[in-house]
Amino acid sequence: MLLKHRLHFFASKIGGQFCHGIGCNISPKRPIQENVLEKIRLNDRLAQLEDKVRKETIKSFYRVRMKKNLHDLDVTNLYEKDYSDLTKSINNTGSAGARMLVAYYFAIFQVMAKFKTGISCPIVIDSPNQQAQDEGHIERIYTFIRDGQPEDSQMILGLEELYNVNFDGKIIELKEKYSLLNEDEFDDVFGTMSYYINQSYRSDLFS
């Protein structure tokens, strides 16, 4: 009996986390009929996510965006067969290879923005000037990042120089070497963040 109780507790915990991830309302406290209807709704939801037409629509949109991104970033040595699948590895070195990766990641961002079913996380890009880009390509990359940011998204961009590209956003200049935070601002920042840190350790949020 004790083993049965423990198994039920474990299953309910795992099930609760799974349901939380896909937004279901199945609960042992609800009437059976309501849980059956909720199960049907979830099956329909999973079927939609696995629908072949939807998958092909997403892949087609990705290929179109990838082709345009490569053109905008002046990448001419990558063929469609090399990026036809979202999960296909793009292996290339040199300055063009760095621009390929920018094109690929932004194609993924654009797919997520168009087909998302939840909340998007912030986009963080650190030092996009990789592999000794010439100045013309640096400006091209920066302009592409600025203009290609998905609508209603938040972007955090780490740059050493702006190269005359005007980014419409708040600029935070780091002045202390090897340091992201300022010691004299610790108390104020900690006072703001301590609530969220404490919330992350609350076990009842996941029960």
Q: Where are the domains of the chain?
A: 26-164
Which one is the CATH code of 26-164: 2.40.170, 3.40.50, 3.20.20, 1.25.40? Answer: 3.40.50
Cα–Cα distance between 184 and 171 in angstroms, integer?
Answer: 20
- List the chain pLDDT tens, one digit each, 207 residues: 433 343 343 334 444 444 544 455 555 555 677 777 777 888 777 777 777 778 888 999 999 999 999 999 999 888 888 888 777 777 767 788 889 999 999 999 999 889 887 777 889 999 888 877 888 889 999 999 999 988 888 999 998 888 888 888 888 888 888 887 788 888 999 999 999 888 888 766 655
Cα–Cα distance between 202 and 119 in angstroms, integer?
Answer: 22
pLDDT value of residue 207: 54
The rounded radius of gyration (Å) of the Cα atoms in the chain is 23
Quickly list H helices, the chain.
2-22, 32-50, 52-72, 80-83, 94-115, 135-148, 186-200
User: Could you tell me the CA-to-CA distances from 200 to 18, 174, 178 in Å, in that order?
Assistant: 19, 28, 28
Pair of tokens at residue 142:
């920066």
Least Cα distance to 57 among 68, 46, 65 occurs for: 65
Q: What is the pTM of this model?
A: 0.65
pLDDT value of residue 71: 93
Least Cα distance to 105 among 86, 132, 120 occurs for: 86
User: Could you tell me the CA-to-CA distances from 124 to 7, 84, 119, 141 in Å, in that order?
Assistant: 41, 25, 16, 15
